[in-house]
């Protein structure tokens, strides 16, 4: 019976924003999309193509093109998986905000802040001369504050629906 309920519970928690959940269920459910997103995003900080201004012979060029192709495909897949994880995090948090009687739109604040922080790091790596490094650090701090605020609010046991 538990096996039959698992897919519907997964759909309820991560694929739809309607409904309400308590603080303990939010704590058990919210970390899973975060771990998935981090596992997909962090390798791209390590593996970055850096073949600028290199003199390449024909075999080296083919290897570089193959590397760039594999990098691009992997990056596209990671972006799609990360977007699904951000949507899942929104759905879990929206239920918790609704339980307080707040608008579920507040649940989108943390995923959007995280996505903007990741985007500024992407820009900072490609445009170092425009001060994007400071912008990336500022966005990291802002995203961290928003995530901490969201977690603090959603971990409260207060509820309007109970």
Encode pLDDT of 43-52 as tens digits.
Answer: 776 666 655 5
Encode pLDDT of 134-158 as tens digits.
Answer: 888 899 999 999 999 999 999 887 6
pLDDT of residue 95: 92
Query: What confidence category does residue 53 fall into, taking pLDDT thresholds of 50, 70 and 90?
Result: very low
pLDDT of residue 145: 97
Residues 92-103, mean pLDDT to the nearest whole number: 90
Structural domain boundaries in the chain: 21-48+56-154
Residues 102-107, mean pLDDT to the nearest whole number: 91
% of the chain beyond a pLDDT of 90: 25
Checking if the pLDDT of 28 tops 80, the result is yes
Instruction: Please state which of the ranges 14-18, 95-99, 132-136, 155-159 shows the lowest mean pLDDT.
Output: 155-159
Average pLDDT, the chain: 81
- What does the CA dihedral 101, 103, 106, 108 come to, rounded to 10 degrees? 130
Q: Residue 48 burial (CB < 10 Å; 0-12/13-18/19+)?
A: exposed
pLDDT of residue 147: 93
């Amino acid at each position: 019976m538990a096996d039959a309920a698992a897919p519907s519970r997964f759909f309820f928690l991560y694929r739809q924003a309607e409904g309400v959940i308590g603080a303990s269920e939010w704590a058990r459910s919210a970390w899973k999309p975060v771990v998935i997103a981090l596992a997909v995003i962090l390798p791209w900080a390590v593996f970055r193509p850096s073949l600028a201004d290199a003199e390449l012979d024909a075999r080296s060029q083919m290897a570089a093109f193959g590397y760039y192709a594999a990098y691009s495909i992997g990056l596209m897949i990671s972006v799609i998986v990360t977007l699904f994880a951000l949507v899942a995090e929104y759905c879990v948090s929206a239920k918790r905000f609704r339980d307080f009687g707040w608008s579920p739109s507040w649940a989108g604040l943390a995923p959007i802040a995280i996505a903007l922080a990741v985007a500024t790091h992407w820009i900072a790596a490609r445009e170092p001369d425009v001060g994007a490094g400071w912008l990336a650090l500022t966005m990291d701090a802002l995203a961290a504050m928003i995530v901490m605020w969201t977690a603090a609010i959603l971990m409260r046991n207060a509820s309007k629906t109970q």
